[in-house]
Every structure is written in structure tokens, then in C-alpha cells.
Structure 1
């Protein structure tokens, strides 16, 4: 009954609000005018019977990748699953077992945090984009830079005085003005505020080429991807639809799995395990004690993740409020809080992944005792 009353109160409050026509129409619009030197063939990239491991840690096993012209792919999943490794494999910078075949006339551009090192620190921002070889005039380059919050005299700042976030935005702008017909984007929304994220979404919507993007930003993925990739049981798997459709499919899949007593996304090593000597009772007690502590930490992290997700949802709601949007100081303050919460959430997700790996290892040891 209390929830029903809350819902009724919310409806009445909403009815009292002044209706504003198309707030989104005030958001900045941009036309990137992507330029391709050459049109690629139908097949962009194929990887066959691909396997990858780091020492004893298996990442991928005998899996296949097929990217077709026009694919807009989002590679999603928790940290530590091998997403960035797969991206480097696609780029051809990571050695891998299997066959790699790049398609005809494919021109690739790769954006990742480590690309910041390729920026010429002695260049000014505008100069850096001019030297990228896109043949765009100064006005076009200023328009692109303005979309990423470099306006007026700011375009003459030296790269060496920029913050890490500012360098990321320069590197992303440099990637987008390239003549590449195949983009690889590893966490491109990191260090971007909501306005810049929306600009990037518009750019990728206008992009007629092919791209693969890694992102934990649900809003971003929902708006740019027409295929979803995820790594499960050391295999690359594909859902041929939007992120919203993928979420619904995954929920149904998990429900069916629970009914059948099957666990989803709990990979078990497919490599041979050598028999380990039995441990004594004291060692087993120590393992169980360690496992209990890790599970307690995991529960705390999961609660923190849920709290941060609710906090981020709240900031997104505030940033969509016309009153906040019209107040520069309030907008900046809320954006800073939003970015801080996102950064903390990424850290907590990484911690969760590490804890899960440790728990899996301990459970494996206990099974052999």
C-alpha cells in the first residue's frame, strides 16, 4: 500500500511540473562529415580458431571472430574478462594462436588510453589535429575540438600542459577525424562529461564505417551498438541486436538457467588439472577461513556497486534537469560528482572481478582437498 501511495504522489508531483517542449533540442548538435578515402570490402576482419593465455591464465580458447562492414559492436562485461586483450588482438598488436585475416581496403584507427603517449607534447592542440593529415580546414577542426570542450583560445594550449582527461579528449578527436573506415574504441567515454558523451554518440551515429567499442557506460552502448559481444566460457559470443534487447534476452536466459539449475557466466577451466596432494585439516580450515573473508568482502563490494549505480542514476537525472543544465556552476558541480562516482564504480567493478577470481581459485583448492 505504501508503494502505491508513493507512486500516486509521484504522479501528482509530475502533473504539477511545467511542461517543456523538447529539452533535448537545446543540446549541442554536430556534423562530423566523416571522410573515407576508400570503401572496404564486405568482410572487415576474421579470426579463426583463436586462443590466448597469459601463463596459466586462459583468456580465450579456440574461438572465432567475424566482423562485417557496417557492424557497430559493443564489447561488454566485467573487468578482467579479456576485453582489452581481444581489442589488441583485433588491432594486430597482440600475439595470438590462430588465423587473422584483415579485409580488403580496411583502414583501422585504434583509440585507447595508451594512445595518449603518441601525442606530440610540444604541439598545440589545434596543431596536433592539423598534423593528423585529415586535410580539414581550421574552422572544421575548431568545430570538432569545440565538441570536446576546447573552445576559443584553449585550442592553442600545449599538449604537455593538459590533464590526463584533456589529453584523452584530444586523442579521441584525433581518432574521429582520421580517414579510417574501421574504428577500435577502448573506453572512449572515460574523462568525458555528459555533453561530450552525447556529442560522441552523435558522431558515431553519423559514422558510416564499422567499429568495435569497449564501454561500461550503459547509456552510451544503448545508443551506438547494433551488436553486443561478450566473453563466456573462454568463447566470444554475439547477440545480434541492441543493448536493451540483449538485456531482456540475458534476463530470460538467466531465468531459464536457474530453473534448470545451471549457472550462467561461471566459466570452468578447460585445461587439464593435475592431481594435487591432499592437505591436512589445518590447511583446509585456513582455506575455508580465507574463503569466508573473501565472500564477506565480495558482499560489501556488491553493496557499494549497487549504491554507486543508484548515485549515478541520480546524477544523470539531475543533469537532464533544465534548471541544472541552465546553471553553469550547478552543472559543473554535478558533472564532477558524476565523473567521480563513475571512476569509483569502475574501481569497485575491478575489485569485484579480482575477488571473484580469488574465490574461484580457493574453491578449486578446497575441491582437491
Structure 2
């Protein structure tokens, strides 16, 4: 269906791809992974509209290939008063109306041939996309995603997560040859994430999905494309098998790289000695020996392992509360808080957070979580009391709420009070930003890069209370791990909206759950039980935690060049994975 051969492409400030190649065949469900800013969304744009881009290499797409697309940032059209059913069935309904209109015209028209031709074309198109069954197919997909209750709601009443799923259903029912989805999991609650998994696994067509979500990666794909450091590798198989293969190659590659480095150093010393001898002695044989040794060194240098999938940049996120308040002090108190839009979302909710509590605020999409977080940050609601010694910083899921996308990165950080170019460059490099993109407009960055910028701004504020609205959204796995470490080590209070169960379990002290229009406190043990009962296979989360722990230990062993330990840990990881497959 799609073949890419030796494709290279660059922005003015950044090289994105260096002769990358892959194929995508009919029926494959392909996950497209890679670190934030590596160029995944741009490659999707090139596939969808190659005429807009000046790239080197070959891109072959079947000329009859129809492509459906689910955007990373879907926008609900507020001007259209459509129900969910009308939105999903839009193409079918338009064709149905056209067919009915042509039938009516044929009853009184004298130019029957032209109308018959139009009628047949419309009928063929309608049949080709399964038009005769479209109403029952919509019902089936809504039932599969547990969204039947939304069928007659107006689209404008949906939450962002609900609209994402409706967009997925719409694209699938239009039966394109290929559906491309750019982070369809972002902002989905636990229930809707399972719905997305069911939709992906039930789809018979070809999928190319950009995602960092390990739950989807573990359950939904039979091909992996990994873009990193301008290079790409493809793997036919599951993500679990790919991740195992990648760790194995890291161990082998780094062990070989050290051996190569040692051999190159030995050879350099030998060349230096031969040069000294050749300088003092013009013997032709000695000259030939030196020349042969130099050529051998060139071969060693050429063979030296370069690991684009080994040397993956992990940002260094540091969160420090410059002004700590007493450990037992209450940082935030919410009393009898209520909020409503068309209906009551929260009524008489109460909770408090101490100065070092790390708390997750969870609940279904559309239950008022973001509204509450914003009102806490604005601190002008009679039900909300913030300790006078608290200095808050806010991370928004709407990135342009915190970042001025028309500014450059430099301008944004000068505005924060940084004094020099060098100071900004040094600070921002910890978050994975190279010097050459400091003058790039923030609006041109990827979703993950924008969120890393938000985290960099929060870090610079030295706030002692963080309000985080979906902070792991758009972040690659390595950035998520870095943020997890930073929050664990943070010495202030955290209130975080998240649907990332791994992140919540690893970082939070307790959970505030929104149910039945109120908020109740839940300890982590009960939260785990609830997640198991409602959303996951038995022991899934426990096994994933074990896997992640061993993977982290392997990475640590590799940093210390302890290859024997890395190999032992790798065998342990294989045993854990085998318990899943059996």
C-alpha cells in the first residue's frame, strides 16, 4: 500500500530523516513510535500530501488508496448543530439525500440519461462504503465503544476525549483503505482507552497509529515503526517483542562499541609509534606498514557502532520548591465546591491537600476536572482556599494557554527573566532542545516538545505547588520516565489530572475520584483494585510494573557498562514476558 525508500527531509533549523525506508501492507495495524520532535507527525503529513514537501527519495502510494485521518488536536465545529449520529453518518446521509434528490428529479425531467448516470455513480459510491447498512453499523460501533448513550447528543456537548472516539468511529465507518491516527489516546479516560483498544482491534483495514501509550502498544499492533535520531527501523511483530529486541540490541551494541573503542585506541597508539619510526627511518617497508595500519584504522572507524535507537535522548526534568512550607500545613482546602454548565458536574465537593501531598484527580471525560484545576489556579472562588505561602504553577492540556505560540523559544524564556542567550541555551538543553531551534516559533513544535517547554517553564518558577492537567499527554516514553522521577523527588504539593494509570501508581500518594457529582478520597490500594476490576486483565498492571522496573535496571546497568548484570536482568525480563504469553 505504501513504500518509502531512502527518504530524506530537513527543516531550515533541523534535519529530520536520513534515507529512511519502510513498507506498509494491506491489513497491518502499525504503531509509529519515537521520541518527541523526531518527525512522526511530519512524516504523516508527507504521506497525506506529498506535493507540499520537497524531499529526497521515493514515496510510492497506491493511486487508488483512500486515506482517513484522526488528528492529534481535533476541533469540534461549534457552528454545526449535529447530533453524534449525524456527525458520524455525514457522508452516508449526504449521499442518501443526493440519491433521493436525483430520484425526485427523474420523475419530471426530460434529460434522463444524465440524471441516470449521476444516480448510478451516487449509488455505486454509497454501496462501496457499505451505505445500505450504515445505520446499524453506527449502532454497532457505538455499542463496541460503550458510547451508545451519546448517539442523540449534540456533538458540541461532548468532552474532548469523547469527540476523539467519535472521530475514530467516523473514519472507520467511511471504510478508507488506510486510516492514520495521530495520538488518538491523548486525554482519554480509562474506560474510553479500552473503547479505543476495542475499535482498533476490531478494524479490518490498515492502520498507522502514532502513540506513546504502552497499554495500546501492548494490545493492538502487529507491526512497529520506530523513528529516532533521523533513522528508522521497522519490526514485524508485537510491541512487547520489539521492545525486548531493542533492549537485546542495546546490550549487544554497547558491549561491541566498547570493544571497538578499545581496539581503535590500541591501534591509534600503534600508528603513533609507527609514525615516529617512519620519521626517523625512511625504510619503504616501514612506510607500507604504517599505511596499512592507517587503512585498518579507517575501517575500524567506519565500522564503529552508531546506535540511533540506543542513544535516545532523555530530558533532565528538575522540579524544586524553592520555598517549602511546613510538612503538616494545609496547602489547599476546597469546601462545598459546585460547578455546572448545562447540568451539574460537581456539587458540594470537599477535600484538602497538605504541603507535600502528591494527588491524582481522576474521573470520566467531561466531569469538570479541568474547570476545578483552573479555578484553584485563579484562586478567586469562595469555596477554594489556598495557603498564603503557596506559590502555584500550572500545566495546561491546552498548550497555547501557557505558551505564546507566535514567540520563539528564546523570546518565551527572556520573558521569564532569563538574562542571556547562553543561559537559556544551557537551561533548555536539559529538556532536549538543541541550540539551532531556539529561534524557532513555538507554534511549529510537536505536541511533545510544547509540553516539555511547559515543564521547563514550571521548573524555572520554583513553585511549591504544581497543578498539572494531563502532563504526560504527547510525551514519549523516555520523557514520561523523566517526569515521573522529577515528581517523585519534588518537595512540594502536586494536584494532577491524569488518565495514565502507570504514572498515577508510580507517583501519587492518593487519588481524588469524581463520581456521582462529588469527590471522594481513595488510597492507592483501593485505586489499584478499582482499576483491575473495571478496566484491566487480572494482574496486568502488576506485570507491567515489574517489566518497567527490570527495564530501568537494565538501562542503569548499561550506563555502568555492567554487561553481565544487564544480561542476567534481560533473562529475568524474558521470564516476566513469558508469563504474559502463557
Q: How many aligned residue pairs are there? A: 266
Structure 1 SS opposite 2:42: helix
Verify: 1:178 aligned to 2:174, yes or no.
Answer: yes
Deviations 1:242-301 (A, max 9, x none): 111111111111112332236743489xxxxxxxxxxxxxxxxx6799369948979974
Question: Which of residues 52, 55, 58 in structure 2 aligns to 1:97?
Answer: 55
The answer as to 2:226 corresponding to 1:216 is no
Q: CA deviation at 1:115?
A: 4.6
1:238 to 234, 237, 241: 234
TM alignment of 1:254-273, pairs within 5 A: 254-259=250-255, 260-261=257-258, 264-265=307-308, 266=311
CA RMSD of aligned residues (A): 3.8
**TM-score, structure 2 normalization:** 0.40
Q: 2:486 matched to which residue of 1?
A: 304
Q: Does 1:248 align with 2:205?
A: no
1:351-362 matched pairs, under 5 angstroms: none
Q: CA offset at residue 161 of structure 1?
A: 3.2
Match of 1:48 in 2: 5
1:121 aligns with 2:257: no
**Equivalent residue for 1:58, pick from 10, 15, 18:** 15
Contact 1:169 / 1:191 at 8 angstroms: preserved in 2? Answer: no
Match runs of 1:121-140 below 5 Å = 121-133=80-92, 135=131, 136-140=133-137
1:167 aligns with 2:163: yes
Cα distance change on mapping 1:166 and 1:293 into 2, 3 Å: closer
Q: Secondary structure at the match of 1:66?
A: strand
Q: What secondary structure is seen at the aligned counterpart in 1 of 2:147?
A: coil
- For 1:250 and 1:304, how far apart are their aligned partners in 2? 26
Range moving further from structure 2, 302-311 or 165-174: 302-311
Match among 19, 24, 29 for residue 72 of structure 1 = 29
C-alpha distance in 1 between matches for 2:43 and 2:193: 24
Whole-angstrom CA distance in 2 between matches of 1:245 and 1:185: 23
- Which segment drifts farther, 209-218 or 163-172? 163-172
**Alpha-carbon distance, 1:184 to partner:** 0.8
Q: Deviations over 1:181-218 (max 9, x none)?
A: 21111111223333333333233333232111111111
Q: Tell me the secondary structure at the aligned position of residue 233 of structure 2.
A: strand
Which residue matches 2:403? Answer: none
Q: Contact 1:110/1:175 (CA < 8 Å) preserved in 2?
A: yes
Structure 2 residue runs without a partner (length 5+): 93-128, 259-304, 314-421, 432-455, 460-478, 490-499, 507-523, 536-582
Alignment equivalent of 2:147, drawn from 145, 150, 153: 150
Q: CA deviation at 1:320?
A: 4.0
CA distance in 1, matches of 2:427, 2:306: 20
Structure 1: give runs of 5+ residues left out of the alignment: 1-43, 269-285, 326-369
Deviation at 1:132, TM superposition (A): 2.9
2: CA distance, partners of 1:83 / 1:52: 12
**For the structure 1 residues 180 and 171, does the alpha-carbon distance in structure 2 shift closer, same or farther, using more than 3 Å as the test?**
same
Equivalent residue of 1:59, what SS?
strand
1:287/1:159 CA distance change after superposition, 3 Å:
closer
Q: Normalising by structure 1, what TM-score? A: 0.61
Residues 201, 223 of structure 1: 8 Å contact kept:
yes
Q: Compared with structure 1, are the counterparts of its residues 159 and 224 closer, same or farther at alpha carbon in structure 2 (3 Å cutoff)?
A: same
Q: Structure 1 residues 92 and 176, CA, compared in 2 at 3 Å: closer, same or farther?
A: same
State the match for 1:363 in structure 2. Answer: none
Structure 1 residues 95-120: Cα deviation after superposition (integer angstroms, max 9, x where no partner): 24133221153221111134535797
Q: Which has the higher contact order (CA 8 A, sep 6+)?
A: 1
Describe the superposition over 1:115-169 as per-residue Cα deviations: whole angstroms up to 9, x where unpaired: 53579732111111222325244343233224445334x3222223333223222
Change (3 A) 1:52 1:191: same
Q: Quick one: distance in 1 between partners of 2:202 and 2:162?
A: 24
